[in-house]
């Protein structure tokens, strides 16, 4: 992974000093609330319902074991002993005290971490595939490019007061595991006609109040132009994005208003001024970025033998077999797998993890996966490089810690924002809804029979739970002061990206498990062969689901 | 007279914010872009831009201007940051003055975008503006005051 040099370290150290001074001045009454607001937001600090919430940046989801141990220490010492993995692969603390935030940032800086630009109207954490570098379907490792974007976007002087937040995602594989169509900018590494890899650039995707799938602004961009081209897009947005209405301020609204052709012309005009300038990437810089993401010292393993031994183990212990099938993923190196650790056990808020579990995962990363861990935008964690022969002992240790729920990609692996329990923006709670669904569908055999299914819950229009792109989406809405839930179907975050369609009138919280059960029963009755929920839905449309759900409700 | 920061020192001069309501340019007031446009022969040597103004209008007149002021009506409207870089990239060498409701903690970024004079609407905290102007000694990006991005300087150091 990327290791700071003296320059990176100096920048985060000076950032800590800056925020310490800003906090001091705020508490002394020298900075007004209005002034402190953007400053604290750009350091990841929200003021929430019960306490401030601090969002810590995890650049493109990559963590070392030392960083994970530091996070465990911080949650224990400054918070209530648990942390939360967000849908931007970041880590959130729910109970820090404002006065101690500068100290938390100093602790983070000591392990090359920070909270820079994890909220506010600026460029946020760049996200990518949680299987970057190990996926079998990868064209090139996206992480060096994410790091190049991270450095360019960190404390960028021109783009700290944008009309609205700005999110960039990078994908470099056949299957899109980074949801690039739902980002302000989505970048895909892909070959041109001559076979040379470059970037396809999508712009104006996004969720929130007006969900939009991104449009192609550039079919293929030479790699060295990445930063000047991004800068041109941001400059057009910063000058022309709406600032009169925060719900119309995202770049997707600007792209829609201008039309993608006119938007592209504006970007090209800005780019003409920046193109081939000093921010053009050099071979040396790309080589330097790539040098941090080389393969770890993999053992030379006979993949066939290892696979057979594993199959025998799975047959002898079907509970392990379930976990092996659902929670491990093919690896490009024979004899290895990537392991997803489910943070979706029933009864625990999706994405939450305790200090002890963090410490354990750090130890497991050291023992089994070259000392590295990853966070995923589905709010789980990953050990990316585990030898197949070690999977059984790893599983046993995870099981003891309550971290072996075998549900990755299935209904109960649901994505959920913190909701009304914590968030002051939320219209409704989301965690109890998630728990009620998990409790209703605890039978693993039934879950596996339903096949891959993504269920996403957001407590409000801001869509932190990405409800629009869930196969089943649930959105908390406010109806005359009461919490209700709107259900949508058919969303998708993959390359066939789609925005879900609203089923009909909203439901009370108690009704949601029944509604989901009816949706699933409709699916099961209409399913042909091994169809997934999404395939059946795409074939039959929303009507049969609607009929069943609302017939029962009458 | 209003206080401002120029060349890292606190000073004062008699320039005041533009008066958009008037057809005439009042003495000591910056002209607005429409007022500057209306003046014949490019006799006005200053102008004050507002968010929404088209910077490119000044493109051919940059060497006739001594001061371009860019106004920040609210601290969260960041358009002026792009205007400043755009003006400098187009070759403007005169004074670029931030005016209005920006805050001390923005001076560092403003300076990096090409501003070299800072005239806050409320000058009672002017020392704080000066104090916050250089809180970082290193930066990743190319910018007006450091045209080489860090990666090129790293390379130069590595030889």
| Whether pLDDT at B94 is above 90 | yes
| Whether pLDDT at A554 is above 60 | no
Q: What is the DSSP letter of A81?
A: S
* Of the partner residues B78, B112, B154, the one whose CB lies closest to the CB of residue A161: B78
* C-beta atoms of A151 and B155 within 8 A: no
The pLDDT score that the predictor gives to residue A65 is 98
For Cα atoms A128, A133, A138, give the angle at the middle one, nearest 5 degrees: 80
Could you tell me the pLDDT band of residue A552, with boundaries at 50, 70 and 90?
A: low
* C-beta atoms of B81 and A235 within 8 A: no
A111 and A142 in a single domain? The answer is no
Could you tell me the pLDDT band of residue A1, with boundaries at 50, 70 and 90?
A: very high
Could you tell me the pLDDT band of residue A291, with boundaries at 50, 70 and 90?
A: very high
CB neighbours of residue A126 within 10 Å:
29
* Of the partner residues A5, A161, A278, the one whose CB lies closest to the CB of residue B149: A278
| Whether pLDDT at A536 is above 90 | yes
How many interface pairs between A and B have CB atoms less than 8 angstroms apart? Answer: 116
Asked, for residue A501, whether it belongs to a domain, the answer is yes
Structural domain of residue A90, as residue ranges?
1-118+326-405
A468 and A333 in a single domain? The answer is no
The pLDDT score that the predictor gives to residue A351 is 94
A145 and A112 in a single domain? The answer is no
End-to-end CA distance of chain A: 56
Nearest CA in chain B to A22: B105
Which of A354, A378, A405 is the C-terminal boundary of a domain? A405
Could you tell me the pLDDT band of residue A538, with boundaries at 50, 70 and 90?
A: very high
The distance of A284 to chain B (nearest Cα, Å) reads: 7
Which of A405, A426, A457 is the C-terminal boundary of a domain? A405
Interface residue of A157, A242, A254, A266 to substitute, partner B, most B CBs within 10 Å: A157
A401 and A419 in a single domain? The answer is no
Q: CA separation (Å) from A246 to A276, A454, B99? A: 34, 29, 24
Q: Note the pLDDT tens digit of each residue in A417-471.
A: 888 888 888 889 999 999 999 999 988 899 999 999 999 999 998 888 899 999 9
* C-beta atoms of B151 and A35 within 8 A: no
Could you tell me the pLDDT band of residue B25, with boundaries at 50, 70 and 90?
A: confident
Asked, for residue A301, whether it belongs to a domain, the answer is no
The pLDDT score that the predictor gives to residue B18 is 79
The distance of A11 to chain B (nearest Cα, Å) reads: 6
Q: Which residues of A517-549 are buried (b: 16+ CB within 10 A; e: fewer)?
A: ebbbebbeeebeeebbbbbbbeebebebbbebb
What is B139-153 written as a DSSP string?
-SS-BTTB-S-HHHH
Report how far residue B36's alpha carbon sits from residue B47's, in angstroms, rounded to the nearest whole number: 6
Q: Note the pLDDT tens digit of each residue in B31-60.
A: 999 999 988 777 889 999 999 999 999 999
Asked, for residue A274, whether it belongs to a domain, the answer is yes
Residue A69 φ/ψ, nearest 5 degrees: -65, -40
| Whether pLDDT at A349 is above 60 | yes
Interface residue of A18, A155, A161 to substitute, partner B, most B CBs within 10 Å: A161
Report how far residue A426's alpha carbon sits from residue A268's, in angstroms, rounded to the nearest whole number: 39
Q: Which residues of A499-512 are buried (b: 16+ CB within 10 A; e: fewer)?
A: bbbebeebbebebb
Q: What total number of domains does chain A contain?
A: 3
A108 and A185 in a single domain? The answer is no
* C-beta atoms of B82 and A239 within 8 A: yes
The distance of A270 to chain B (nearest Cα, Å) reads: 9
Asked, for residue A302, whether it belongs to a domain, the answer is no
Q: Which domains are delineated in chain B?
A: 3-158 (3.40.50)
A72 and A168 in a single domain? The answer is no
| Whether pLDDT at A493 is above 90 | no
Which of A266, A290, A314 is the C-terminal boundary of a domain? A290
The pLDDT score that the predictor gives to residue A48 is 67
A341 and A243 in a single domain? The answer is no
Q: CA separation (Å) from B37 to A83, B88, B97? A: 57, 20, 19
Q: What is the DSSP letter of B103?
A: -
Q: Which residues of A421-460 are buried (b: 16+ CB within 10 A; e: fewer)?
A: bbbebbbbbbbbbbbbbbebbeebeebbebbbbbbbbbbb
Interface residue of B72, B74, B82 to substitute, partner A, most A CBs within 10 Å: B82
Residue A241, Cβ density class (10 Å: 0-12 exposed, 13-18 middle, ≥19 buried): buried
Q: Note the pLDDT tens digit of each residue in A97-114.
A: 999 999 999 999 999 999
The average confidence (pLDDT) of chain A is: 94
CB neighbours of residue A309 within 10 Å:
14
Interface list for chain A against chain B, based on CB atoms closer than 8 Å: 5, 7, 10-11, 14-15, 17-18, 21-22, 30-31, 34-35, 38-39, 121, 151-152, 154-162, 227, 235, 238-239, 243, 273-274, 277-279, 281-282, 284-285, 288
Report how far residue A197's alpha carbon sits from residue A191's, in angstroms, rounded to the nearest whole number: 4
> What residues of B are in contact with residue A274 (Cβ under 8 Å)?
89
> What residues of A are in contact with residue B143 (Cβ under 8 Å)?
157-158
A146 and A89 in a single domain? The answer is no
Asked, for residue A530, whether it belongs to a domain, the answer is yes
A60 and A196 in a single domain? The answer is no
| Whether pLDDT at A498 is above 90 | no
Q: Give the ranges where A292-400 is alpha helix by DSSP (H).
A: 303-316, 318-327, 355-368, 391-400
The pLDDT score that the predictor gives to residue A49 is 66
A367 and A486 in a single domain? The answer is no
Contact A474, A160 (CB under 8 A): no
Q: Note the pLDDT tens digit of each residue in A107-164.
A: 999 999 999 999 999 999 999 999 999 998 999 999 999 999 999 999 999 999 999 9
The pLDDT score that the predictor gives to residue A72 is 98
What is A491-505 written as a DSSP string?
-B-STT-B--EE-SS
Could you tell me the pLDDT band of residue B157, with boundaries at 50, 70 and 90?
A: confident
| Closest residue by Cα to residue A78 from A47, A57, A50, A102 | A102
Q: Note the pLDDT tens digit of each residue in A378-392.
A: 999 999 999 999 999
The pLDDT score that the predictor gives to residue A426 is 86
Contact A413, A344 (CB under 8 A): yes
Asked, for residue A37, whether it belongs to a domain, the answer is yes
- Range B23-38 average pLDDT: 86
Task: Find the radius of gyration of the CA atoms of chain B.
Answer: 16
Interface residue of B53, B76, B127, B132 to substitute, partner A, most A CBs within 10 Å: B76
The pLDDT score that the predictor gives to residue A50 is 64
* Of the partner residues B105, B136, B147, the one whose CB lies closest to the CB of residue A14: B136
CATH of the domain at A436: 3.30.413.10
Contacts of residue A294, defined as CB under 8 A and 6 or more positions apart, other chains included, come to none
> What residues of B are in contact with residue A35 (Cβ under 8 Å)?
75, 103, 105
- Range A353-372 average pLDDT: 98
The pLDDT score that the predictor gives to residue A421 is 84
> What residues of A are in contact with residue B151 (Cβ under 8 Å)?
151, 281-282, 284-285, 288
The distance of A76 to chain B (nearest Cα, Å) reads: 31
Report how far residue A403's alpha carbon sits from residue A358's, in angstroms, rounded to the nearest whole number: 11
A378 and A430 in a single domain? The answer is no
Q: Which residue has the higher pLDDT, B140 or A465?
A: B140
| Closest residue by Cα to residue A516 from A540, A499, A533 | A533
Nearest CA in chain B to A34: B75
The distance of B109 to chain A (nearest Cα, Å) reads: 5
Assign 3-class secondary structure to A161-223.
CCCCCECEEEECECCCCCCHHHCCEEEEEEECCCCCEEEEEEECCECCCCCECCEEEEEEECH
Contact B87, B65 (CB under 8 A): no
Report how far residue A433's alpha carbon sits from residue A457's, in angstroms, rounded to the nearest whole number: 8
Report how far residue A522's alpha carbon sits from residue A519's, in angstroms, rounded to the nearest whole number: 5
The distance of B75 to chain A (nearest Cα, Å) reads: 8
A174 and A252 in a single domain? The answer is yes
| Whether pLDDT at A553 is above 70 | no
CATH of the domain at A342: 3.90.480.20
| Closest residue by Cα to residue A345 from A425, A296, A391, A407 | A407
Contact A394, A383 (CB under 8 A): yes
For Cα atoms A112, A118, A124, give the angle at the middle one, nearest 5 degrees: 105
Asked, for residue A204, whether it belongs to a domain, the answer is yes
- Range A306-329 average pLDDT: 95
Asked, for residue A545, whether it belongs to a domain, the answer is yes
CA atoms within 13 A on the CB side of A223: 19
* C-beta atoms of A158 and B86 within 8 A: no
Q: Which residue has the higher pLDDT, A502 or A210?
A: A502
Could you tell me the pLDDT band of residue B129, with boundaries at 50, 70 and 90?
A: very high
Which tokens go with A196?
């040379």
């Amino acid at each position: 992974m990327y290791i700071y040099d003296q320059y990176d370290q100096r920048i985060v150290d000076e950032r800590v000093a800056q925020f310490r001074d800003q906090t001091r001045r705020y508490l002394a009454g020298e900075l007004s609330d209005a002034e402190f607001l953007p400053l604290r937001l750009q350091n990841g600090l929200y003021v929430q319902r019960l306490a401030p919430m601090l969002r810590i940046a995890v650049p493109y989801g990559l963590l070392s074991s030392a960083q994970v141990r530091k996070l465990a220490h911080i949650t224990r010492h400054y918070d209530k002993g648990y942390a939360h993995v967000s849908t931007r692969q970041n880590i959130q603390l729910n109970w820090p005290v404002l006065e101690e935030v500068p100290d938390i940032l100093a602790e983070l800086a000591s392990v090359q971490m920070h909270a820079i630009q994890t909220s506010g109207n600026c460029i946020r954490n760049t996200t990518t595939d949680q299987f970057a570098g190990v996926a079998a379907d990868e064209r090139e490792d996206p992480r060096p490019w994410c790091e190049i974007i991270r450095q360019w976007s960190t404390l960028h002087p021109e783009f700290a007061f944008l009309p609205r937040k700005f999110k960039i995602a990078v994908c470099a594989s056949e299957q899109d595991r980074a949801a690039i169509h739902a980002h302000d900018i989505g970048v895909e590494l892909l070959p041109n006609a001559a076979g040379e890899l470059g970037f396809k650039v999508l712009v104006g995707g996004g969720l929130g109040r007006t969900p939009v799938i991104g449009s192609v602004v550039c079919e293929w961009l030479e790699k060295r132009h990445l930063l000047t081209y991004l800068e041109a897009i941001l400059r057009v947005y910063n000058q022309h994005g709406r600032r009169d209405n925060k719900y119309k301020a995202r770049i997707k609204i600007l792209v829609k208003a201008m039309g993608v052709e006119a938007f592209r012309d504006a970007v090209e005009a800005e780019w003409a001024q920046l193109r081939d300038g000093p921010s053009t990437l050099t071979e040396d810089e790309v080589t330097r970025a790539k040098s941090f993401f080389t393969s770890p010292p993999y053992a030379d393993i006979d993949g066939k033998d290892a696979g057979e031994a594993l199959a025998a183990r799975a047959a002898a212990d079907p509970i392990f077999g379930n976990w092996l099938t659902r929670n491990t993923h093919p690896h490009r190196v024979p004899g290895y797998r990537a392991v997803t650790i489910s943070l979706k056990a029933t009864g625990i808020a999706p994405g939450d993890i305790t200090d002890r579990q963090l410490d354990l995962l750090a130890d497991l990363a050291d023992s089994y996966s070259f000392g590295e861990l990853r966070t995923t935008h589905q709010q789980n964690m990953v050990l990316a490089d585990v030898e197949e022969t070690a999977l059984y002992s790893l599983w046993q240790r995870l099981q003891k810690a309550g971290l072996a729920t075998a549900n990755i990609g299935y209904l109960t692996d649901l994505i959920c924002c913190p909701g009304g329990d914590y968030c002051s923006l939320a219209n409704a709670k989301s965690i109890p809804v998630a728990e009620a669904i998990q409790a209703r569908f605890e039978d693993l055999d039934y879950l596996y029979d339903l096949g891959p299914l993504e269920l996403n819950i957001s407590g409000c229009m801001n869509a932190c739970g990405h409800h629009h792109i869930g196969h089943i989406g649930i959105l908390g809405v406010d109806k005359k002061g009461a919490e209700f839930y709107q259900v949508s179907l058919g969303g998708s975050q993959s390359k066939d990206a789609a925005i879900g369609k609203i089923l009909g009138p909203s439901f009370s919280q108690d009704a949601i498990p029944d509604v989901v059960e009816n949706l699933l029963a409709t699916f099961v009755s209409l399913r042909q062969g091994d169809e997934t929920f999404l395939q059946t839905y795409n074939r039959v449309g929303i009507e049969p689901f609607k009929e069943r759900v609302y017939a029962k409700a009458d | 007279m209003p206080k401002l920061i120029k060349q890292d020192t606190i000073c004062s001069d008699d320039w005041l914010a533009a008066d958009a309501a008037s057809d005439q340019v009042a003495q000591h007031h910056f002209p607005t872009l429409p007022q500057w446009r209306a003046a014949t022969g490019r006799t006005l040597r200053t102008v004050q831009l507002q968010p929404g103004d088209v910077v490119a209008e000044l493109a051919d007149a940059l060497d006739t201007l001594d001061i371009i002021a860019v106004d920040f009506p609210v601290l969260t409207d960041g358009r002026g940051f792009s205007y400043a870089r755009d003006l400098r990239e187009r070759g403007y060498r005169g004074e670029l003055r931030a005016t209005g409701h920006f805050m001390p903690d923005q001076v560092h970024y403003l300076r990096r975008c090409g501003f070299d004079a800072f005239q806050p609407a409320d000058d009672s905290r002017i020392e704080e503006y000066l104090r916050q102007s250089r809180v970082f000694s290193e930066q990743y990006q190319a910018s007006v005051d450091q045209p080489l991005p860090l990666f090129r300087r790293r390379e130069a150091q590595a030889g």
